[in-house]
A and B are shown apart, each in its own frame.
Chain A
Amino acid sequence: MEVDREFKIVTLGEGRVGKTSLAMRYVRGQFNEKEQSTTNANFLEKNIRINETSIKLNIWDTAGQERFRALAPNYYREAKGALLVYDITDKESFWKVVSWVEELKMQADKDISFVIAGNKCDLELDRQIPKEQAIAYAKQIGAAHYSTSAKSGMGVNECFEEIAKLILDKESRSGSPIRSSKARSRVIVKNQEEVVKKKKSGGCC
């Protein structure tokens, strides 16, 4: 299969919130109740199709422990999207998401797209983070929020695909080249004048 675009995505969040489980559920469609703890980072890939653009997602699934934060820049550098995961039954894990957002805004690619996933929604009874609060926060930072459950599969495909869509949207708005015909036509319609001007001056690389 020919791939039009390749996006690097990183999963970040407190330990044991389900970063690996979400990634595994998405890529392999499997859920392992007894997922192993991650040291440093794992790598997964998946090919998807959005609006006739075939996309390869390179997913870096990182370790949650605070000390590994020092290595995280290796993985979020040049990443176009970040999936920030918290556990709805664990208050602390939500604050970790907030701190990751702060760090990424300072250090990561300035066009990086965020999606926040409130994982373990199958444990609704033990919820500690009110959904409204999480959604409000996501809105505030311009991110999408998804309620997910790696166990049941709820919201998993949606949250990863949302990242891909956000990245595509951002790219088409900023006018960087996209091979898909549909996406390209949309760019030209929106910014026709700009594109023409740029072509004339010949300054675009």
Chain B
Amino acid sequence: MEAASTIELTRVGLLPNVQYFLPPDPISEETNPLLLPLHCPQCSCNRKAKNLLKRTYTSLFPRKEISDSCVRAQKWCQTAGVSENSEALYIEILSNSIESEYSEQIERDIDRSFPDLYYFTLGEGKIALKRVLSSFSRFLPNIGYVQGMNYLVGTLLWHASEADTFWLLVNLMQNYKLYENYIENFPGLEKHCHIIDFLISNYQPKLYQHFLQYGLITQMYATDWCFTIFTCLLPINYSYFVLGKFFKSGWIYFYKLVLEILDRLEEQILGCDNIAKILASLKPYTTGKKHSKKFVKNLAKGGERLNWKKLAKQAQLREIDENVISCLDRNAENLHTAGL
């Protein structure tokens, strides 16, 4: 089972120097009817598609019966470099992924990822979520499964087919270096928090001093954001505002959004006289849509009507010094490879 087969890696754009688990014997769909995809994206992106043909096609068939990725997810696949025809390989990997050392943890998390959504608690989405996570944990065993991935995968599934979701995830891990966040000791998390720290000290020095004074470290509020690219914070049908821009601009966009949020909260945070109050404004503790609405409402400045779409857009307009960020990024990586 463990031997990696000689499937042409280039076919799906895999990196040559990374350890992959690849299934030894391809299993045909005929022998394994259970492997047929059941999942259909639940978003309504296609209904708003500019392409008339697609729009008509969608209006003729209820969304629930189309298993292809929506127009948005297809765009992400293009941007992220997911090649077409990768479904067969996904099915092969899936057929070898029924059990992994992460099965138990995945099982523990699967129905409490989106507890308010029937689709992920009892519907087909539950199976799809489990299959993508299991396949991934088997495919890249060094990363495996880490809590937080469940939100990301669920959000991708909302828009994309099962196979596309899998390959988008693989691409996010590799090309967007998301894997650094999840591997042992979380070097990526450390790096991003370090960069966020730097940005705060530069752009919001008062806030930086305030955090320092009350012993608040960036990991305390930014871990969820880093691990899930904000998908744990946004309602699932709004996540694409952020995710789409992340696919386009990568971590630069992520930092911009963090700064946008902190900027809007600055006054409120400076008024907090202990760590508990600061955290309460950065990390409101309720779940679901309500929590998200409340969070974004709190970010509105003087009478402004703010929603996630606007916020995501405004963040993109921010200007930050990308050269410095890429320097910090490189430094952190060199330190990591040097084993420091």
Contacts and interface: CB of A to CB of B under 8 A. Distances in A.
B186 A70 contact: yes
B147 A15 contact: yes
B287 A40 contact: no
B105 A15 contact: yes
B240 to A, nearest CB: 20
A35 interface: yes
Given A16-B108, A43-B285, A70-B184, A36 B147 contact: no
B276 A40 contact: no
B272 to A, nearest CB: 12
Interface in B136-194: 146-148, 150-151, 182, 184-186
Interface stretch (A60-68, A105-113, A170-178): A60-68
B113 A36 contact: yes
Nearest to A74: B219
A53 interface: no
Counting from the closest, the 6 A-B pairs by CB-CB distance are A34-B115, A40-B223, A16-B108, A39-B148, A37-B109, A43-B279
Contact of A38 (B105, B115, B116, B147): B147
Contacts of B285: 42-44
Nearest to B277: A45
A43 B214 CA distance: 15
Contacts of A45: 276, 280
Interface string A1-42: 000000000000001100000000000000010111111111
18 contacts: A32-B287, A35-B287, A36-B112, A37-B108, A37-B109, A39-B147, A39-B228, A40-B224, A42-B283, A43-B276, A43-B279, A43-B283, A45-B276, A56-B276, A64-B108, A65-B147, A70-B185, A70-B186
Contacts of B108: 15-16, 37, 64
A38 B147 CA distance: 7
B88 interface: no
A58 interface: yes
A131 B280 CA distance: 37
A5 B230 CA distance: 35
Category for how many chain B residues contact A: 20 to 34
Interface string B196-229: 0000000000000000000001011001100110
B121 interface: yes
Given A39-B224, A66-B105, 5 more contacts: A15-B105, A39-B223, A56-B276, A64-B108, A71-B186
A74 B193 CA distance: 14
B227 A71 contact: no
A91 to B, nearest CB: 13
Given A16-B112, A32-B287, A43 B147 contact: no
A138 B40 CA distance: 50
A33 to B, nearest CB: 8
Interface in A54-90: 56, 58, 63-68, 70-71, 74
B287 A36 contact: yes
Contact of A58 (B146, B217, B224, B276): B276
- Which of B108, B186, B217 has the largest count of A CB atoms less than 10 A from its CB? B108
Contacts of A32: 115, 287
Contacts of B283: 42-43
Contacts of B151: 39
B220 A74 contact: yes
